[in-house]
Structure 1
Amino acid sequence: MPTDLTRRSFIKAGLLTAGAAAIAGVPHARSAGAAGKELCTLLDLQRCIACGACVEACRETNEEKFPEPAGPMPDMVPRSKVKIADWSSPEKRAVEDRLTPYNWLFIQEAAGEYNGRDFEINIPRRCMHCRNAPCSNLCPFGAAFTQDNGIVRIHPDVCMGGAKCKAVCPWHIPERQSGVGLHLDLLPQYAGNGVMYKCDRCYQRLEEGELPACIEVCPEDVQQIGPRDEIVEKAHQLAGEMDGFIYGETENGGTNTIYVSPVPFDVLDRSIHKGPGEPHLAPTPDSMASANRMALALAIAPVAGVAGAVARFLSLGGTDNNAKGAE
């Protein structure tokens, strides 16, 4: 590869040769996790006191990953379909009551009555890290990918901000920041509109043998993380002890975020405020079970495979330690 190859020319060359690269065996972007096991988090909702320590720790730990737009943002074509999403002002960066590109975790509050008793339940919300994530399967450029340890990530150097991940996510979790990303180097008025952001479960901390920041700082031990089979077993044990209910074990075909609550989740779903950046808690069928979506995933694979190679090239000066052993 020539030493003066620019990022832009590398990307263009990769996309133009997508089919050939796929035949040559360029893999879909799925990187190996540090632990090698599928990790899952368990959240005991009866413990959460909404102190906000997890939200603050998430912000501090991931601040270096937050987008920093530079200069005016280009108007998109067509304006009616592609809107500029700008959360970069100090006021918007400070928002903590919903998901944003600068706030990957927030506390959703539910209050009401169940079985003749009043309840108040606090629910830490972030990416669910689905086992068969539609964002990972259906991203046309392979920017969204799933590590072998179950973490679902979005590569900021490859993401075009087209928001396919948000559209196919049953909870519409990823949020876009305009004025950053690869599309500015290619077709700034026509291709995407920024980069999508969400919780990456502090993958870098896990690789170093540390806990995700939100789990480490929680004073009430709301969360624990471990191999999924063990976490599922603990979830059922906890639900049995409190005569409670489980969410995430089967939703969207199964996720690596499992909630246990003393109040049914359909009751909680009716009790929470839902809207942009505020996901629901409704029953969620497997979104990848559709034949049409599976066919689309197969059609996307060649381009996504090239994008996976691009992601590895762009990271850490041409290598991506988090994409080793891609399959």
Structure 2
Amino acid sequence: MQRRNFFKFVAATSMLGAIGHASTNPHSSLALSPKKEGFASIINLDLCDGCQDFDMPKCVSACRDKNQDRFPKPIENIPDYFPRKIKEDYSNNQDDITRLTPYNWTFVENVSVDNQQIFIPRRCMHCDDPTCQKICPFGVIDKDKTNAVNIDEHFCFGGAKCRDVCPWGIPQRQAGVGIYLKIAPKLAGGGAMFKCDMCADLIQKGQHPACQRECPKNAIIFDKKGEILKVVNKMKESGKFVYGDTQNGGTSTFYVSSVSFEKINQAIAKKYGETEESFNQKTQKMGRPHMNIEVENFINNDSTLVKSVLSAPVLGVIAGAIAVSRSNKKTKNKG
């Protein structure tokens, strides 16, 4: 956003104690500098109303419209792959916006807390130290200069280790697509993983991500992470609750709210008929992330899982071949 508008934004938040009351222009440009710390976003739950006057939340429809060319197109008669006899196939339910799916990279959770409706746009948190990137045995998850964590679906095997170690279970798998069909359709993989990539391609062009551009309440704001952190700190000082600053070692997605995230997480678990503990454990498969405040980057504390996955010889051979293929593809694209 333009510098003048951003400082209006900061001034308003410090006075009013709520982010989106500032005068911002969602169509103004972003200035990307690879020498800086990249970008981050604030999602203001005090402003988000779930776009109740629309058929679909605008952040959801904007994300779907922008990324529809990347949505998976599975083959017919998807084969079983050893040793499983089930497939994660959402191709017949592409219009489901009640959860994260390979065709829905943003969804809006709605819960009631103390008789107050809370709407929570959910997508990838874009962690500072992403566990998904560390665990991927094929090296197809990147964290680029914008701070975006992106999965290269063209080389992903769909093993879903990224979802297993993501505290929020964000990446979602679609069977019947991906490189595994060409290499080992019945022995490895199972599809490809899909999730929000922060619209990194738009940011690199100096444009705002689709969700911010279409949000009618200015509840979603992207900017350089240093500037975002200034606003987040002001929000903390004003008594707002913040989520995403410490969870999983820190992220580039910051939620702010007048309602505590402990209460919000309890309400989410209750909505799905779960205790907090059981819901936090099941969210990986549900595609409806928790907001547990006690989220640690467990890979930093216990690398056993990482070592067991990355030490498999066959994975090393395939990963090496994929690395070469991806390098050649990037070189070709630059040329």
TM range (shorter): 0.7 to 0.9
- Is the partner of 1:268 in helix, strand or coil? helix
TM-score scaled by structure 2?
A: 0.78
The answer as to 2:199 corresponding to 1:198 is: no
Tell me, yes or no, if the aligned pair for 1:55 and 1:106 is still in contact at 8 Å.
yes
Which structure 2 residues correspond to residues 1-327 of structure 1 after superposition, within 5 A?
35-36=33-34, 37-51=37-51, 52-79=57-84, 83-89=86-92, 92-113=93-114, 118-241=115-238, 243-272=239-268, 273=271, 275=283, 276-283=286-293, 284-292=295-303, 296=307, 307-314=322-329, 319-321=332-334
1:105-145 superposed Cα distances (whole Å, 9 cap, x missing partner): 000112121xxxx3221110000000100111110001112
Matches of 1:310 and 1:293, distance apart in 2: 29
Q: What is the one-letter code of the residue matched to 2:292? A: A
Contact 1:239 1:261 in 2 (8 A): no
Query: 1:16 matched to which residue of 2?
Result: none
Deviations 1:275-323 (A, max 9, x none): 40100000201223224259639858976565333223245xx6355xx
Q: Tell me: CA distance 1:245–1:151, structure 2 relative to 1, closer, same or farther (3 Å).
A: same
Q: Label 1:34 to 1:184 Cα distance change in 2 as closer, same or farther (>3 A).
A: farther
Please give the secondary structure, in 2, of the residue aligned with 1:93: coil
Secondary structure of the corresponding residue to residue 232 of structure 2: helix
Q: SS state of the match for residue 66, structure 2?
A: helix
Q: Check whether the contact 1:44–1:222 (CA below 8 A) recurs between aligned residues.
A: yes
- The CA deviation at 1:35 is 3.8
**Gap change, CA 1:306 and 1:252, over 3 Å in 2:** farther
Separation in 2 of the partners of 1:71 and 1:233?
Answer: 50
Q: Which runs of 5+ in 1 are unaligned?
A: 1-32
1:163-185 CA-partner distances (Å, limit 9, x unpaired): 01000101111000000100000
Segments of 4+ moved more than 6 angstroms: 300-303
- TM-score of the two chains, using structure 1 as the length reference: 0.79
1 CA distance for matches of 2:261 and 2:333?
39
Measure, in 1, the Cα distance between the counterparts of 2:110 and 2:136: 31
Structure 2 segments unaligned to the other structure (5+ residues): 1-30, 52-56, 272-278
Identity %: 35
The 8 Å contact of residues 170 and 287 in structure 1, kept in 2 or not, is answered as no
Higher relative contact order, structure no. (Cα contacts within 8 Å, ≥ 6 residues apart): 1
- Superposition deviation, residue 240 in structure 1: 3.1
- Cα 1:298/1:74, change in 2 over 3 Å: closer
Alpha-carbon separation, structure 1, partners of 2:120 and 2:292: 14
> d(CA) in 1 for partners of 2:243 and 2:291?
8
Cα contact 2:155–2:179 (8 A) shared by 1: yes
Mean Cα displacement is larger for which, 201-210 or 157-166? 201-210
Deviation, structure 1 residue 216: 0.5
What displacement does 1:34 show? 5.9
Residues in 2 aligned to 1:191 and 1:294: alpha-carbon distance in whole angstroms: 18
